[in-house]
Structure 1
């Protein structure tokens, strides 16, 4: 592994090592919950070098490109800056790194980002159709419908721009990028992985419901009440 991180203080190197451990372990949750196939999908977590300093001193840890989930270890995780430049690691970063970096740059409260191609959520994305809030679980977790983001090509920060434009000001931690798939955010990578699991579950359930008839929407006032209780009382335990 490269030694670029030797230029950073010991506490920064320790924080990066912790993030590598966490991100590596969380990647195992994606195939466990049936959210990915082959090498698709990725988890990242922000590592703040200096909370009082400029954003370009932030780092992120993310999965390397083209590596199977069985091969992932803390050592294979790569470290990038918020311009998506490789800072430390022996492999190329995920092709979605620029999108993750853009989210961290423009949504300072976000500490984790996840992308999958999970089947049901991606099917809704292929239709460019939001998942309607017809389940109390959705009201709890997402605070309303799961929104659709714009079509964007992979390779630069276009996907990140679409994520930020869609989720800025939204209560939802998930966006269905049109013709692509779900991206989720959270206060850390664990929260973003939970959102990825939950978005697939509700996308599947609402899809099955539609086979029986049109799902009944939940009133906005009830959505607000459920969301407030879950986020501020139940969900905090």
Structure 2
């Protein structure tokens, strides 16, 4: 893709990073239908591109393009006001929400939005997913909270995400009557959170068909979260939202 003057104004290392992130974000979009988190053109993945000494950028999918038609070149680049910097197509309709999160949560490097069935069902009820699974304690440090109702088109959704997650250990929020948004250290981390939030939403729903799920003591939730975030794996699980 030939760079527009907007992107050409950035240093070569930033332009190179943008191209790397374009390929990464394109590949990660394929994970959403693979895990059954989206239908048709719904949902989006973005990643922050840090600009030393300047305002960061974000890479996100174009609006209304099917997943099979996505390519690295079709990914669009925006500033953190949601303005198009580089790309031949209109950005995702959720770009303003992603941009607001990056503006106000500088530790966040990736954002994902889906309409995955079970998580969205909880959002439609306006009900948080209670922390009744060790997997939830590990990954989210507590329940999956509900965010406020907000309309698409400006940064209202982004404000709701930030207000809900700013003081929470959760990397996922269920925006009321809308669906889940997840955050991460980078886009891959946020995609993982999106997969996990759907899994726990489904499991807790099924559990409630059998009876009332058993709660986990807060001290045990804290212990599980601390271990998973600081000991589990290969040192890549440090919390984005401690």
TM-score bracket, normalised by the shorter chain, equals over 0.9
CA distance in 2, matches of 1:182, 1:139: 18
Aligned to 1:12: 14
CA distance in 2, matches of 1:47, 1:234: 27
Two-structure CA RMSD over aligned residues (Å): 0.9
CA distance in 2, matches of 1:192, 1:114: 6
Aligned to 1:128: 126
Instruction: Give 1:21 shift.
Output: 0.7
Q: How many residues align?
A: 233
CA distance in 1, matches of 2:68, 2:215: 41
Instruction: Give 1:67 shift.
Output: 0.2
Aligned to 2:70: 72
Aligned to 1:60: 58
CA distance in 2, matches of 1:151, 1:217: 27
Paired residues for 1:1-237 under 5 Å: 1=1, 2-4=3-5, 5-50=7-52, 53-54=53-54, 57-235=55-233, 236=235
CA distance in 1, matches of 2:212, 2:61: 39
TM-score w.r.t. the length of structure 1 is: 0.97
Structure 1, gaps ≥5 residues long: none
CA distance in 1, matches of 2:205, 2:23: 36
Question: Secondary structure in 2 aligned to 1:184?
Answer: strand
Instruction: Give 1:3 shift.
Output: 2.0
CA distance in 1, matches of 2:139, 2:113: 17
CA distance in 2, matches of 1:136, 1:49: 38
Structure 2, gaps ≥5 residues long: 237-242
- Stretch deviating more after TM superposition (227-236 or 118-127): 227-236
